[in-house]
Each structure stands twice: as structure tokens, then as C-alpha cells.
A and B are shown apart, each in its own frame.
Chain A
Amino acid sequence: MSTRFAQPVDSFRHEALLYAGMDDFLAGTMPFLRGGIEAGETVLVVESAAKISLLRAELGGDGDSVMFADMSVVGANPARIIPAWRDFVTENGGGGRRLRGIGEPIWKERAPVQLIECQRHESLLNVAFAPGQPWWLLCPYDTEALDPGVIDEARRSHEFVTAGNNVKRSDDYRGLDASGAPFDLPLPEPGPGVQELAFDAGSLVALRRLVSMNATSAGLSPARAGELVLAVNEVVTNSLVHGGGKGALRIWRDTTGLICEVRDPGRFHSPLVDRERPAAPATGSRGLWLANQLCDLVQIRNFRSGTAVRLHVWLGTPTGHHQNGSTATD
């Protein structure tokens, strides 16, 4: 067995594992897990239900000391993954206790719009954990199922990349500063049928009516419609309080769902603005955090002209259903 997995890390180690097929997946993950278990580390695996069964079977009784979580639940909205890892580190770290985890946020069935945000999530992991307690996160990438471009991006978002026995520092890693640099990847312009409403401090009621009408006519249940209305209300309130006091809402449908976009002339200063869990009730803005809890996907951009926040709610069958590895155990 490789001894490299027995070594403690002295900083946050964000490592991509490139694998081809289930045997390769097990060959890459099992020594990592066993190394953690033997060192008495707390281990959390966030994977598909199918891969969790596979790993449990391989680990046998040793699997009892490992925690598992379903990535299709935890990472349904990828912006909820960092808070989940934060909880893991906070609850289990400290006092010199060692930690490691496996997380596979990207799989073939992720819709393109989700993939982009998952890739942003991978970069933000560096920002979220570089300054804190040392721990080791292994992120498997399925080279047979994913486009080569996705693998190239994994080399940019991870400082270390492993394929088979080849472990190395990634020459393409973009580094910590660039990982948290303002995200200004262009957003595709909506097709026809967009409704637009410029807003200021007097517009909240009108905005809620517009979103509610659209949510209802799109077929959302009253509960989900209410959640979207609340999410838009909070993001707009954020714009009114912190983003210059005015902005514009656009709302439309595409093939995946209903989309509400809030633009304002302000700027987000923290790259983790939407994934820092709010603390005490009295503290300020929590609109973007809330949007991530209420919506299926939230896209945040810092453009020269200001900020854009797109809130997505899937209609019909959710996209990005987690299926990878499902044929391996059946």
C-alpha cells in the first residue's frame, strides 16, 4: 500500500483524482480512505449513492468509521457544498485532529449551467480552506465520461492532480489569488419572452407580484413559488441596501427552468459572499446565502458595469440527476 496516504498534510491539500472506470476509481480512493482510517482521521465521503455502496462494500467493517453523504443532495446546488465541508471541518477538526474527505461534485449529467458553477465551486474551495486547518480533499474526475475541457479545468482548480500512480503538483493550477478573483464569466443572453422591471426602493411589492405571477404560470407549487419570491426579494433588498439603491430585474424561462436575474451597479467584495453561513440574527446581509438555500442554482457575476445574480428554479425533471457509477453495482 502506498505510504503517501499515511502522511499528514500541513495545509489544505486540494487534489484531483483522474480515474477511468470503476476499478480505477477504487484504486485511487481506497488507499486514501484506508490511510485515513489507519491514522485515526475523521473521514467524510460525499459521493453518489451508487459509489457510496461500492465503497462501503470494499471497506467492509472499516467503513463504519467513515461518514458518507449523498452528493446529489448536498451538492444539488453546488454553492451548498462549501458550507457542508465547513461544518465537517468545524465539527471534527481542531485540537490537532486530522481530517480527510472525498468529494465528486462534477458528473456527466450535470447541465452546462450547473457545470460552470461546479467549476467555480472547485476554485472557491481553495479560498475557503487555504487559510484554515490542514486537511486533505480528494476530488475524483471521471475521464471516460467527462469532456477533456472539464479535466483541463480540474488541473487549473486543483493544486495537485493524481492519475494512477502519478501524483504531481499541477503546472496549470491557477493559484489562490486567481481562485478567488472576481468571477466575470459572461452569462448567455436570454431568448425571447423576457420581462424586465427597473427597480428602486419603492418597487419591492411590484417585484414580488411579477415573480409570483411568473412562478405560478410556470407551474411551480405555491411553496416553491413562495421560496423564489422570497429569494428575489432578498437579493433585490441587497441591491437596494448595498448595491447602489437601484437595479433591474429580468425574468424568463429557458429549457431548464425559470430564471430571475437581478442586476445592480454595485460590486461583491468577498468571493464567498453567498456561502458564508450567517451568524447572529442581528448581522447584516444574508440575501445571497438565502437564495442558495431556496433556489436550485445561483449564478453570481462581478462585471465592470456591476453585479448580476441569476436565480434558477428547475421546471419538470430536475437536471443534473446524479447517476454516475449507477451501473457499476447493479
Chain B
Amino acid sequence: MGAVYRMDRIWAVGERVEIDNLKAPRAAGVKVYADRQLVVSRTSSPAGIKFTGEMDASNSHAVGSSIAAAMVPDHDIHVDVTDLQFCDVSGIRALVAAAGGLNHGRRLLLHGMPTQLKTVIEVVGWSELPTLEVCECKVEPE
């Protein structure tokens, strides 16, 4: 994980325009993270978070804290990636790490997988991870 810490050092300064708002009320649409290329907001149905924009090594550190903020004890985590226009390997790695950190049989469910995200997961060979699940259901509009 050394590389991940190093990425934090490289990208820690000057990128974020709005810092995590983790203590915000649990209402849909509330931003828990935003920078120039990515917004993470809460969703209500199902309860979880939604990524909008582009995720790469400059902001993939936001995944862990955003997911932690959205967690409801003993429930699966729903992550809407319909409008995630780009996600690189570090982003997938962050999602995989978040999924791997879940306990008690909880899963991280990805909703609305774009083709680009499927490509990354296939190429890195992580499509078989038990706690990371791709959900084909439709996400309710907010």
C-alpha cells in the first residue's frame, strides 16, 4: 500500500475545492466530497452514495471516507456510478479496498456500471471479488 500513501502526498495540495462534509445530515443530494472533477453525494433510495465526474489518482482517496460516511450498520453499501465518466485503476483499487473492509457478509453494490468501468475491472482481473458486486437493477431517480 506504499504507493497509495505516496499518491496522497503527491495530490494532497491544491486539488480539492471543497473538503469532506462528513458530518452533514443524512439527506439525499448532500455533498460529502467535491473537487474540480468529482462530486460525491448521498443517495436515499437505496441509501448510499453517488459518484459524478471523474476519478483518478488525484482523488481516489475520497472513496474510502465517502463510503465510511454513507455506511449504515449491518446494511450493504450502495454506490451509484452511473455518472462516473472515468475511473482509473486507483479508483477501482479504492472501491475494492472499501469492499474488502466490510464485515458481517455486507457487500458493496455498484449500480449503473459504465462500460469504461467494466473495462478497467476486467483488465485488472478483479471481476471475481466476492464483496464487490455489480448490480444490474435501475437506480431510483433522486
Cβ of A15 under 8 Å from chain B? no
Please name the residue on chain A nearest to B11 by beta carbon.
Answer: A201
- Which of A177-206 touch B at CB < 8 Å? 201-202, 204-205
Chain B residue, CB-CB nearest to A282 = B1
Pairwise interchain contact B37-A240, C-beta atoms closer than 8 A: no
**Complex contact A205–B124 (CB within 8 A):** no
| Chain B proximity of A16: nearest CB distance (Å) | 33
Q: Give the residues in chain B near A294, CB-CB below 8 Å.
A: 123
Q: How far is the CB of B4 from chain A (nearest CB, A)?
A: 8
Roughly how many angstroms separate A242 CA and B120 CA in the complex, as a whole number? 21
Q: Is the CB of B3 within 8 A of A281?
A: no
Contact of A204 among B3, B58, B115, B124 (CB under 8 A): B58
Indicate whether A233 sits within 8 Å of B58 (C-beta atoms), given known contacts A201-B11, A227-B119, A293-B123.
no
- Interface residue? A256 (CB, 8 A): no
Query: 1/0 contact trace for B72-103 toward A, CB 8 Å?
Result: 00000000000000101110010011001000
Q: Is B25 an interface residue (CB 8 A)?
A: no
Q: For B105, what are the chain A residues with a Cβ–Cβ distance below 8 Å?
A: none
| Contact B58 A230, beta carbon cutoff 8 Å | no
Shortest beta-carbon distance from A63 to chain B in Å: 31
Chain B residues with Cβ below 8 Å from A278 are 124-125
Scoring A residues 270 to 303 as 1 if CB is less than 8 Å from chain B, else 0, what string do you get? 0000000010011011110010011000000000
Which residues on A sit within 8 Å (CB–CB) of B119? Answer: 223, 226-227, 230
Q: Report the separation of the CA atoms of residues A245 and B123 in the bound assembly, to the nearest whole angstrom.
A: 25
Q: A233 and B56: CB pair below 8 A?
A: yes
Q: Does B14 contact A (CB under 8 A)?
A: yes
Contact pick for A281, options B2, B37, B58, B93, CB 8 Å = B93
Task: Name B57's closest neighbour in chain A (CB-CB).
Answer: A237
Evaluate whether A290 and B123 lie within 8 angstroms (CB atoms) in the complex, with A226-B115, A234-B88, A241-B6 already known.
Answer: yes
Q: Decide if A237 touches B2 in the complex (CB within 8 Å).
A: no
B10 at the interface (CB under 8 A from A): yes
Give the shortest distance, in Å, between A293 (CB) and chain B (any CB).
5
Contacts of A226 in B (CB 8 A): 115-116, 119
Please tell me the size bucket of the interface on B: 20 to 34
Judged by a CB distance under 8 angstroms, whether A139 is at the interface is no
8 Å CB interface, A202-260 against B? 202, 204-205, 208, 222-223, 226-227, 229-230, 233-234, 237, 240-242, 245
Complex CA–CA separation, A192 to B56 (angstroms) = 32
Contact pick for A201, options B1, B10, B129, CB 8 Å: B10
A229 partner residues in chain B, CB cutoff 8 A: 86
Q: Check if B7 sits within 8 Å of A281, measured CB to CB.
A: no
Q: Mark B1-35, 1 if CB is under 8 A from A, else 0.
A: 11100110011001100000000000000000000
* Residues of A with C-beta under 8 A to B126: 281
Q: Distance (Å) between the CB of B87 and the closest chain A CB?
A: 9
B88 touches A284 (CB 8 A): no
Q: In the bound complex, do residue B124 and residue A284 qualify as a contact, i.e. CB atoms below 8 Å apart?
A: no
Bound together, the chains give a CA A284 to CA B3 distance in angstroms of 6
In angstroms, Cα B3 to Cα A201, docked, is: 15
How far is A268 from B2 in the complex, measured between Cα atoms in Å? 18
Contacts of A201 in B (CB 8 A): 10-11, 15, 58
Contact: B14 with A202, CB < 8 Å?
yes
Give the distance to chain B from A286, nearest Cβ to Cβ, in Å.
6
B83 to chain A, nearest CB (A): 16
* Pairwise interchain contact B124-A282, C-beta atoms closer than 8 A: no
A-binding residues in B (CB < 8 A) = 1-3, 6-7, 10-11, 14-15, 36-37, 54, 56-58, 86, 88-90, 93, 96-97, 100, 115-116, 119-120, 123-126, 129
18 inter-chain pairs at a CB distance below 8 angstroms, sorted by A residue, are: A201-B10, A201-B15, A202-B14, A204-B56, A204-B57, A204-B58, A227-B119, A229-B86, A233-B86, A241-B3, A241-B10, A242-B3, A278-B124, A278-B125, A281-B93, A281-B124, A281-B126, A294-B123
